[in-house]
Amino acid sequence: MTLLNGLLALGALAFTIPLAIHLLFRSRFRTVNWGAMHLLDDVVRVNRRRIELMNLLLLLLRCMLPILLAFCLARPVLTGFRALPGDAARTVVVAIDDSRSMAARDSDGQTRMHHVSAGLAKFFKTLSRRDEIILVRTSSIDAVVGSMGTADAIDQVENMTATGGPVDLGRLVRRAVEVSGDAAHPQRQIIVVSDFQSHMVGDSAIESLKRLELSLKEQEIRPTISFLNVGDQSNTLDNVSVESITSDSPAVVAGRSAKFSARIRNSTDHTIRDLRLAWTVAGRPLDTRTITLPPRSSTITRLTHKVDIVGVHPVSVSIEHSDALPDDNERVIAVDVIREINVLMVNGSPSNRPLEGATDFLAIALSPFAFGGQDQPDAVRNQVTTKTAAVVEIDKQSPDIVVLANVDDVTSELRKRLALFVERGGSLVVFDGDKLKPESYNTVWGDSDDGWKLPAQLGDRVGGPRSDNDDLPRYSIGQLNNLYAPWSIIGSGSGADTSTGPISEIAITGYRKLSLDESGPETATTTKLLSFSSGDPLVVRARRGKGQVVQFAIPCDASWSNLPLRLVFLPMMQQMVLDLAGSQKQTTVDVGSPIDVPVIELTSQLPADTKIDQKATATYSFENPNRVETAIQPFIYEQLDSLQVSRAATPGVYQFRQHYFDSKGEPIVNRTIRVAEVPAAESQLRDADKSRLNRAAELVDASVYRDLESLQSDDQTRRFGREVWRWLLVALLVGLVGELLLQQRRFGRWKSPLIARARQTAGAR
C-alpha cells in the first residue's frame, strides 16, 4: 500500500490528544464520600465492569477518529505488494476486429464499429502525449504497422469500416503480441476489440493460444492483455443474407446455357414472405422474383442463363430486406466465360483401324456431336498429335488441357514443357497403357529444384488385356467420391455403394497399381476420385502450381476395360474436361486475399488484325470497388507476366485494364475483372460460448470486459492501485455517529440507576 499524500498521514498522531485528555482527567480523579454513598454500593458493584468497558470503547473511538481522518486525507492506494507503473509512458496496442459482423446494427440503430470508434476516440484522449498507440486491423493483420499519436489514432478509428473477413482469435492475439515487441516503452497494453463470433474462437484458436501462452511465460515483462467484447447480444439480431452463389456448370461457354444457384438464409425466428430477389448477369439485371423463407432455414434459388460475350463477368444476387446487417443482402461472384475448350491429345499408340488408337474413344466423347446442342456453339475443340510433335503443338495451340494416352516414354523436353504448362494453370490428364514405362513418369517433372511429381507413383500392372474369356478376373469399382461434383450425375447416389447404377456396368480386367506419396508436401492436394473395391486408386487428382493433374490407372481405350463402350464414358469425360477448364482461373477470392491476373488474359482480347504501335509500351492499372484507379506494373514469374494485387482489402469488383495505342494513335483498352467477397461465416451472427471465450482469455492471462469504462477503471487500478479513501471516509462518519451514540448511552444508563435508587430511598423515609 502507498500514500498519495504521505505527509498528511502524520496527522494520525492527533490520536494522542483524546488519550492525553483521558489520562489527565484520570489523574485528577478524587473519591468524595457523602452520607448516602452506601446506598449506591450495590449499583456501583453491578455496573462497574460495564462502565469501564464502555469508557475504554469510547476512548478507542476517540483515538481512531483522527487516525481515520488523517489516512483519508493521505489517500492510501492498495498495490498488492508490487511496484506500479503509475504515469510512466506506455505503448497501447489496439487489435480491432473490422470484419463484416462488426457492421451489424444494435438495438439503437448504430453499428458495432460506430460504438467502437466512438469509445476508442474517448479512450485515446485520456492517454498522455508520451504514450504511443499501435493499431492492428484484422483485415490487414499481416501488414506493417507503426506507432502514432493520439490525433492520428483518433482519425484512423473514426474512418474505419467493417468490411473484412473472419479471423482466428489466436492469430490476432499473436500478431498483437509480435507488434508489441517493437514498442518504444517497456509498459505494454494490448486491447483486443471484437464481437467474438463463434467461428473466431474455434479449436484452432485455442491451440494457437496454448502455444502463445508458453512464449509469453518466457518474457521478462509481459504485456497486459484485455478482451473488449462489443457483441454479446447477437442472438437477438435478425438477419437475412445471400449466403453463396455457385456456378453449377463445370465451365461456362459463350453462347451455351449455364446454370447458377444462390443460397438465401433466414436467421430470424419468423417467416419471411414475398422476399424480392434479383439476379444480375454481366451487368444486365434480370426479372425479379419473390421467395418465402421459413424461420431459421435457407433455400436455394436457381438460374439458367446464356452469356454470349467471352471474358470474366460478374454474377450477383440481391435481396430487399431491412435487417441488422444490410451489407450481406448482396453477393457477387466472377464467372469466366470461355469461347471453347482446347484439348490437345497425345496419342501414344495410333492406329489406322477405327477405334483401336489410344485416343479414338476419347476424341469421340469430346466431339461436338457428343456434346449435342445444334443451336449452341461447340464447347470443345480437340486435336490429336504424336509424342514427337507434342512440344511444338503445345506452343502453337496454347491448349487448356493436354492428354497423354499410352505414351511410352516422356522425353525430358516434353516433361519440362508440360511442367511449365501445368505451373501456369493448364491441366494434364494421364491415361495408362501397355506401352507406358513407369520410370519415365515417376521422376521429377520440371526443374530438379522447383519440380514436382505426379499425384501417384506408377507401379506394376495388375491383370491383363480385356478379352472374351470369362475366366479373367474382374476388378470392380468400389467407391465414387461424392465430393467431386462433375461426376455426381453418374454416381449411384450412395457414394460407397457402386453395385447399382451405371458404374456397376464397368468391367475392368487390368489396371496400373498407383501408390500415393503420403510423405510429400503436396499430399494435401491429392484426391481419390474413383477407387477399386480393394482400395487401390483408379482416378487421382491433384493441384500442381496453378494447374491440375489427373491420373487414370487404366487406358482410355477398350483394351483393359469396357468403360469406353458404356454410356457413362461420355458424361465422365465431358464433365471432367469442363471442370478442368472451368477451374483454371481463380476469379473470385476471399476479401483480404491476393489477386493474380495473367497479362495474356488481357492481351488475348485484341483482334488478330489489330496493329499495335510498336514504339509505345502498354500500361496497366486496376480500379478497386471504391472507384480508385491505381497504376500497376506486371510481375514476371516463370516467364509469365501477371498483374498482382497483394491484398483485396475491400469486397466488390476489381477491374484490371491494359492500355494500348494502335498504329494510328487511337487508344485501345482491354478489361477484365476479379471479385473479392466476404465469407458467409460473417453473416451468421453467433456469439462465442462464454466458457470458451473465458478459457481463451485465461490462456493469455487476459480479462474480458463488456464496456470500455470498466476496462479503463481496471487499467487505472492496475497502473495506480486501488484508492480506499472513500471507505475510510465512510468509516470516519460511522465512527463519529458511533461516538455520539455511545456517549449518550453512557450517561443515560449511568444516571438512570442512581435516580431510581435515590427515589427508592426517599420513599422509604
| CA-to-CA separations, 368 to 151, 364, 399, 577, 754, in angstroms, rounded | 67, 9, 17, 13, 128
- Eight-class DSSP state of 689: P
pLDDT band, very low/low/confident/very high, at 479 (cuts 50, 70, 90) = confident
CB 59 within 8 A of CB 16: no
Run of H or E residues at 571: helix 569-582
Q: For residue 515, what pLDDT is reported? A: 93
Three-state DSSP at 473 gives coil
Please tell me the predicted confidence (pLDDT) of residue 83.
47
For residue 402, the tally of other CB atoms under 10 A from its CB is: 26
- pLDDT, mean of residues 613-619: 75
pLDDT in tens, 282-302: 999 999 999 999 999 999 999
Q: Is the pLDDT of residue 521 over 90?
A: no
**CATH topology assigned to domain 343-582:** Rossmann fold (3.40.50)
pLDDT-based confidence at residue 620 (cuts at 50, 70, 90): very high
Mean pLDDT of 492-518: 75
Residue 368 has pLDDT above 80, yes or no: no
Q: Is the pLDDT of residue 669 over 60?
A: yes
Contact 501, 492 (CB under 8 A): yes
Residue 749 has pLDDT above 60, yes or no: no
Q: Please report the DSSP string for 250-261 in residue order.
A: SSEETTSEEEEE
From 46-50, 129-133, 315-319, 473-477, the region with the lowest mean pLDDT: 46-50
Q: What is the pLDDT of residue 660?
A: 85
pLDDT value at residue 739:
79
Higher pLDDT, 467 or 579: 579
- Given this model, what pLDDT does residue 137 score? 94
Q: What's the mean pLDDT when you consider all of the chain?
A: 86
Percent of the chain scored above 70 by pLDDT?
86
Average pLDDT of 26-39?
68
Average pLDDT over residues 569-591: 90
Greater confidence, 17 or 639?
17
Q: What confidence tier does 496 reach under pLDDT thresholds 50, 70, 90? A: very low
Q: How far apart are CA 261 and CA 712, in angstroms?
A: 49
pLDDT of residue 494: 45
Residue 85: alpha-carbon gap to chain centroid: 36
Q: pLDDT-based confidence at 182, cuts 50/70/90?
A: confident
For the domain spanning 238-337, the CATH number is: 2.60.40.10
Domain residue ranges in the chain: 2-82+723-764, 90-232+689-720, 238-337, 343-582, 588-676
Helix (H) or strand (E) holding 694: helix 690-699
Fold of 588-676: Immunoglobulin-like (2.60.40)
Q: Is the per-residue pLDDT at 751 higher than 60?
A: no
Residue 646 DSSP class: S
- Could you report the per-residue pLDDT of 190-202, keeping only the tens digit for each? 999 999 999 999 9
115-144: average pLDDT: 92
What does the pLDDT average to over 620-649? 88
Gap between the Cα atoms of 619 and 660, Å rounded = 7
Domains 238-337 and 588-676 equal at CATH topology level: yes
Tell if the pTM clears 0.85, that is, is over it. Answer: no
Q: What are phi and psi of 722, to 5 degrees?
A: -105, 115
Residue 493: pLDDT above 50? no
DSSP-derived secondary structure letter, 45: H
Q: pLDDT-derived band of residue 363, with 50, 70 and 90 as boundaries?
A: very high
Comparing 321-335, 354-368, 521-535, 556-570, the range with the smallest average pLDDT is 521-535
Q: With cut-offs at 50, 70 and 90, classify the pLDDT of residue 331.
A: very high
Model pLDDT, residue 187: 87
Mean pLDDT confidence for 344-373: 85
The whole-number pLDDT of residue 522 equals 59
Query: pLDDT (tens digit, 9 = 90+) per residue, 216-259?
Result: 988 888 899 999 999 878 888 899 999 999 999 888 989 889 99
Class for domain 90-232+689-720, per CATH?
A: alpha beta
Quick one: which of 155, 88, 164 has its CA closest to 120? 155
Which is more confident, 764 or 152?
A: 152
Helix H segments across 86-149? 112-125
- How confident is residue 638, by pLDDT bands cut at 50, 70 and 90? low
C-alpha to C-alpha distance for 192 and 744, rounded to whole angstroms: 58
Per residue in 161-181, is it b (16+ CB within 10 Å) or e — as a string? bbbbbbbbbbbbbbbbbebbe
Helix count and strand count (H, E) for the chain: 16, 36
278: number of Cβ within 10 Å: 15
